[in-house]
Amino acid sequence: MKKIKLFPFPHVEIRISVSDEMERDYWKCRESIRRAVEAGDDQKTFKCEECSWRNVKTSECNGVCAMNGLYEQMRGGKSDGTNREE
């Protein structure tokens, strides 16, 4: 399991425990989006309803999977201002 911290605003920290399933789904979704963009299609093949991230949200309509800094954290790197030490 991967532990990720995001800092979307000053004084706000979001901690996420990313399971192996969530990690697989994240990369499937990214690949699905990439293929759709390359094909000029607006429909990705991996549906949000099928995703293990579907209920991980910061609000009623904003999924954590789309937050700034998450991609860099999922790759294992540091993102600008989101990989702070405690």
Per-domain residue ranges for the chain? 2-75
Percent of the chain scoring above 90 in pLDDT: 36
Beta-carbon contacts of residue 70 (< 8 Å; ≥ 6 apart):
4, 6, 64, 79
pLDDT higher than threshold 50 for residue 83: no
pLDDT higher than threshold 90 for residue 58: no
Mean pLDDT of 26-36: 91
Residue 70 or 58, more confident: 70
Instruction: Report d(CA 31, CA 17) in Å as an integer.
Output: 22
Give the model's pLDDT for residue 82: 45
